[in-house]
Structure 1
Amino acid sequence: MNFKEGKCPKCLGILQVPEDRDKIICMYCGEKLKVAELLKQDDNQASVMQELKKPADYDKYLQIGMERLPKLLTEIDNPLVAFKKDRYEQFFNQIYQANSDLLEAIEQVCLFAQDKEETMQQIALNLVNKATLSIDAIPKKGAKEQKLMDYNLSLAVYVIPVILKYKNRTLEILADKILEEWKNKFPKTNVGKSDYENINKGFRKKLCYITTAVCETLGKGDDCYELTLLRNYRDNFLMSQDDGEEIISEYYNIAPTIVKRINKLSNSSEIYHAVWENYLNPCVRLIEEDRNTECKKVYYKMVKDLQQEYCH
């Protein structure tokens, strides 16, 4: 059986198309596709490739990648607004569709680059440098920190997942290079590599009951840095662990009761301050230092200690 490379017109996933079949199903999105149309697409692509071998065409696509990829990050205004269960899917798909030609341009660059890894690193470093300039242009320290936090979130839940959704190994190299260069530039940050499917599955209807109650007591808003960091940790790292879903499920089973009982006590504020000092603040510091496994132990200890204290 002979195969040719084709691209799903719906999700842009790269497919190995058997020439002796009439129809196939895209392994990425489930779309039913006609082999004849995919092979025709492949023939057209081959002729286009011949044109793209001209240096001017290569430079054009490289310029598109260098100019537009940083904008994919920096032009997402307030990334938390759409990072909600009922809005994330639609917003993500809008970004993906709007930038599909950008991803194709970067793919073309990779096809003709003498050194793919070096070229991807060049594009990644350019993104990091542009983001750094944007942050440095902000005069106030607090606003700088907020902008970096926004970029961290945008990178984790929009930019990297958009790149990974393209289903091309070369672009996955780009995602790795971006995360590598970002960590080099901002060593205290902890941006994980996660795809759209896993993030979308990670949304849960229930809130971080105890964490929210503690942050409210400390005068921190629902979208404060600490809550955002802990939620991202829960939905990404913790959910990906073998026992993560079990820990989270147990937490949600007991957390509402714990909060209700603490709220009835006259010293509830003191209790929440103690929870912050003994558990949540250490968790935040561990996440910032990329010590996620240690954070998991502290998180689990908090659940067990509070359960023993307030659920018996």
Structure 2
Amino acid sequence: MANREGKCPKCGGALCIPEELATFSCMYCGAVLSQEELVVPHEGEEKNQAAALEEVLQKLWENGDSKAEELTGRILELDEYNMKANQVYARMHFPDILFRFKNAMEHFKRSEYPDYFDAYKIKCRPAVEAVDRYALESEDHGEEFMRLLASDLMKAIDKEVESDQSLRSKNARALKCDQYKMILAVYTIPMILELKLGVSERLTDVMVEEWMRLHPKSILRKGTYGDMVTGFRKGKMCFITTAVCESFGKPDDCQELQSLRKFRDTYMMKSEDGRALVEEYYEIAPAIVTCMDMDEERAGVYRSVWNTYLEPCLQDIAAGRAEACEKRYVEMVRSLEGRYLDSQIWEDHRGSDTTS
């Protein structure tokens, strides 16, 4: 059974109709049509129409005209591999894969991450696919264009942070910059890799390179979605106390870790509230440690956590102050959760520090 492909002359909807049907109804507008009325473009006609609109699109894009969005869509309907339309679409929407998801780290938890990541991937796919289609038609396989997109994205992060007058301290600006880096590391880069497009590997490499060029002391790692999920599921991401002790060169069976684990098992796990706290800790601690490990000031953060929370906790345990230890430990987790996973942390820095 052969089919004819064409468009409805009434609404422009794409149709695929069996040739033996003399009449049929458009699935979009309901118009009753004959085979003769089906608009079947000549080979190359749609590509020529798309090419004829490129100059108009370029001018609209350069002038910041909102009509560029509509015209881009029209050209891509005519020719989905039109280089100019894919270029403009990517320039318009590639920044959205980061800036439309500023609160993403709030969902970087064991129970929420997979579903949120799937939704994120669906929303971001069109922008990355536009880059991929452009690269397929480009002589340099999109290398220069990917470099431009990555560079513009990283510069946009710095520009947004520096232009936010409510972030008055250097520390507050550094924290916000780190928040964007975390989104790149646990959402954006894994998402692009998960799409498994022709540009996925190279585009993520270029993004890491451009970040490191602007922030040479701030590590951005190229990880996969599988790395993140496996870390949550199997505990391969070290938990906070273990990570801090390891940063000081202490072994996994050191006295400090044994004391804290014993406190967990013999005190916290004996009550309903304690078990709930431990379960919540397992929910978010792997994500916190992942973020701590990418912090430009991670050595200082680990030292601060030890001095402010863990060492006093050990002193509480030795003195039999179980409630004080539990309270201090909860404060540690809440503080780190606020720093790395809660976007509202920025409110705590707005207007509260005038240090430049």
Q: TM-score interval w.r.t. the shorter chain?
A: 0.5 to 0.7
Higher RCO (CA-CA < 8 Å; seq separation 6+): 2
Match of 2:204 in 1: 175
2:240 partner letter: C
CA gap 1:260/1:208 in 2 versus in 1, 3 angstroms: same
CA gap 1:234/1:126 in 2 versus in 1, 3 angstroms: closer
Look up the SS of the partner of 2:222 in the other structure: coil
- 1:278-289 aligned within 5 A: none
Please give the alpha-carbon distance, in whole angstroms, between the structure 1 residues aligned to 2:45 and 2:320.
Answer: 72
Match of 2:116 in 1: 91
Match of 1:135 in 2: 161
Match of 1:202 in 2: 231
Between structure 1 and structure 2, the one with the greater Rg is 2
2:119 partner letter: Q
Q: 2:151·2:210 contact (CA, 8 Å) conserved in 1?
A: yes
Please give the alpha-carbon distance, in whole angstroms, between the structure 1 residues aligned to 2:133 and 2:148.
Answer: 15
Structure 1 residue 102 displacement after superposition = 1.4
Deviation per residue, 1:19-61 (Å, 9 max, x gap): xxxxxxxxxxxxxxxxxxxxxxxxxxx9899579838232221
- 1:1-312 aligned within 5 A: 54=51, 56=54, 57-115=82-140, 116-139=142-165, 140=168, 141-204=170-233, 207-209=239-241, 230-232=289-291, 262-266=315-319
Look up the SS of the partner of 1:84 in the other structure: coil
Structure 1 residue 79 displacement after superposition = 3.1
Question: Is the deviation greater in 115-124 or in 87-96?
Answer: 115-124
Look up the SS of the partner of 2:101 in the other structure: coil
Deviation per residue, 1:185-227 (Å, 9 max, x gap): 111211100111111111158742456899xxxxxxx9xxx99
Deviation per residue, 1:56-105 (Å, 9 max, x gap): 23222112212222221122223331100000001110010112211221
Look up the SS of the partner of 1:202 in the other structure: helix
Structure 1 residue 260 displacement after superposition = 7.8
Structure 2 alignment gaps of length 5 or more:
1-42, 55-81, 246-255, 257-280, 295-310, 326-356
After superposition, the CA RMSD in angstroms is 3.8
2:317 partner letter: K
Structure 1 residue 176 displacement after superposition = 0.6
Please give the alpha-carbon distance, in whole angstroms, between the structure 2 residues aligned to 1:108 and 1:49.
Answer: 17
Structure 1 residue 145 displacement after superposition = 1.3
Please give the alpha-carbon distance, in whole angstroms, between the structure 1 residues aligned to 2:186 and 2:46.
Answer: 32
Please give the alpha-carbon distance, in whole angstroms, between the structure 1 residues aligned to 2:290 and 2:121.
Answer: 24
Structure 1 residue 267 displacement after superposition = 11
Structure 1 alignment gaps of length 5 or more:
1-45, 215-221, 236-257, 273-312
Q: 1:61·1:109 contact (CA, 8 Å) conserved in 2?
A: yes
Match of 1:240 in 2: none
Please give the alpha-carbon distance, in whole angstroms, between the structure 2 residues aligned to 1:262 and 1:52.
Answer: 76
Please give the alpha-carbon distance, in whole angstroms, between the structure 1 residues aligned to 2:313 and 2:171.
Answer: 34
CA gap 1:48/1:200 in 2 versus in 1, 3 angstroms: farther
Look up the SS of the partner of 1:190 in the other structure: coil
Please give the alpha-carbon distance, in whole angstroms, between the structure 2 residues aligned to 1:121 and 1:80.
Answer: 26
Please give the alpha-carbon distance, in whole angstroms, between the structure 2 residues aligned to 1:92 and 1:82.
Answer: 9
Q: 1:128·1:182 contact (CA, 8 Å) conserved in 2?
A: yes
Please give the alpha-carbon distance, in whole angstroms, between the structure 2 residues aligned to 1:165 and 1:228.
Answer: 19
Equivalences, count: 192
Identity %: 22
Deviation per residue, 1:133-166 (Å, 9 max, x gap): 1111123223311211111100001110111111
Match of 1:306 in 2: none
